[in-house]
Each structure stands twice: as C-alpha cells, then as structure tokens.
Amino acid sequence: MSENLKLSYETDLKLLHETNENFYEIAWSARHQLLEKNLQGIDDIQEALTAFRKLDSRYFWKVQRVLAGSTENGPFNHYYTGKIDVSPKDLKAANEQFLVSEQANKRQIDIILDSFDDRTDAVVELGAGYGGNLIRLDNAFKEHVGKSLKERNIRLIMAEYTEAGRALCSQFLKRKNAPTIEIYHIDHKAPDVSFLGPAISPLFITVHSIEQVTEIPSNYFKILSDSASNVRGLHLEPVGFQFEPASPQWKEHEKFIKQKNWNQNFANVIKKAESDGYIKIDKIDTAFAAGQPANPTTLVLWHSTT
C-alpha cells in the first residue's frame, strides 16, 4: 500500500439522488484525487494509467448512502453523501484481479483496433469514463501500425456523462506522450453526437456504459447512423441475456442486471433498427467474455446501410 494514500475521500458533492450517473460523478471525483495525490511523479501517460489502474484495484471503494426525507416533503429516499469509504483488499488477490482485468482490457482494445475499416476517421467512445480505453488505443495503434492515430488523421473523441470523468480525462492528458482527445458530454438516454462535425466514417464504441442506462431510446441507432455517411458501431456490453432470453445460462445474470436496474432493452432496440433497414448487424458474440462470470460482456458490431 502506498504510504501516502488517503484512505477516505470526500468530494465537494453534497446529497445527491441515488442514480447511476451520480454514482459515477462521485466515483470519478475520488479517482481524480487518487491520481493527483498519489501518482504525481509519473510523467508518461501510459505508465500513469497503468499505475492508476493498479492502485485503484487494490481497494474496495464504497460510495456512502443515507436515507433522507421528511413526511412533509414526500417519501424517504436514498441519497449519496459524496463520501467514499476506501479499504484495502488482500494484496495478493488484488494483484491477481488486476492482471485478469488488464488482460480483459487488452482484449477489448485489440477488438476495437480490429473494428477499424480503411475509411475510419474518428473513434468515438460514448460513456467513456475517464478515457482510459482511448488512451490505451492510441498506444496500441502505434504498436500495430507504426504510426500514430494523429498521423493517420484519425480523431479520438471521448464523450462522457459525468463532469468528474471528463475532468479526470483532462488531468491524464496533461502528461507526456498524451494523445489528442476531444472531450464532450453525452447522455445515452438522449444522445446528441453533433460534436462529430465533419467526420465521414466514425467508429462508435461503448464499453459497459449502455449497461448503466435501464432503457436507451428507440431511435438510439438512428441517431448514430444518421451522424455521418459511413458509420460503424462496436458495443461491449453485458446484454447476452437479452439476445438469448430462453437460455438458462443467463438466469443469474439477468436477475443481477434487473436488481441493479441496468440496461434491459439494447437487443430489442438494435434488432428493430436492423429490421427498419438503416443498420446491418455484423456480429453478435454472447460468449465474448465467457470467462468473466460476474458481469459477462457480449460483443455487438454493426454498420449503417443508408
């Protein structure tokens, strides 16, 4: 454990309604402090990102909740206090988990690279957290292609709901060897991708962020496919149970998702988009993360047809 690590985080945020968006507002705000207070000495962005993920994975982070309200002002509800209790994990187990999650992340980055086509001129992550996937993608692209995304005129765009996630991304980007990443706001519940501007062949990606939204709007893929002339989409989301509702293997996972009120309509919305004729689904791989039982990722790849 780092000797200087502060073990309790209090954000400036006071009582906040218990929503998934507010959870991440607090979580990313605490992680911002983790980076600033403990990893100042690491200049290189890729090294800082790895050290950050490793340090993060050594702790349990518990966002505090309270029950508040009054009989006059309506029912009692749960709120987040803005405080986080942090406690260390068993170091050996934490290191093992870190290696597993690094392998899983590497595989995700490789899949994103494989999903480029010759015309791809922008990679846009929606619900990008603090931009970690795009920071790593920049490095992986250089290693695979021998040139940077910038040299190839491929824009990197991170769009994230929370202010804290966007601020943490900016903090990472102050380091040496940082890629240029454009930073915008996005809400999966009402996506506005007008920030795309003149891109012709964007690749949209989501990685466990649609997960956070119980329902995406019925025109979600229409908005993405209408945003440019040649659009591709890659989603790494825990939606296998939606594509195979009769399969007993998903029963536990479906229960888990419903308890959390996480996404339940991705499959219906994308299948309707395909039957309406403006996108074609290229691949659905529900076994993508079969070795990751807690919240297994399904891969879905599509392209626009109009």
Residue ranges in contact with ligand SAM by CB under 6 A: 20-21, 24, 127-129, 132-133, 160-162, 165, 186-189, 207-209, 212-213
Spatial distance between the Cα atoms of 45 and 100, rounded to a whole number of angstroms: 21
Between the CA atoms of 48, 52, 53 and 55, what dihedral angle is there, to the nearest 10 degrees?
140
Looking at beta carbons only, is 230 or 264 nearer to ligand SAM? 264
Spatial distance between the Cα atoms of 27 and 1, rounded to a whole number of angstroms: 20
Spatial distance between the Cα atoms of 81 and 15, rounded to a whole number of angstroms: 5
Looking at beta carbons only, is 37 or 185 nearer to ligand SAM? 185
Query: What is the largest distance, in Å, between two alpha-carbon atoms of the chain?
Result: 65
Neighbours of 3 (CB within 10 A): 5
Looking at beta carbons only, is 17 or 119 nearer to ligand SAM? 17
Two structure tokens written together for 20? 């998934």
- Give the amino acid at 209: S
Spatial distance between the Cα atoms of 270 and 279, rounded to a whole number of angstroms: 8
Looking at beta carbons only, is 120 or 162 nearer to ligand SAM? 162
Looking at beta carbons only, is 192 or 282 nearer to ligand SAM? 192
**Which residue of this chain has its Cβ atom nearest to ligand SAM in the complex?**
129
Question: What's the closest the beta carbon of residue 219 comes to ligand SAM, in angstroms?
Answer: 15
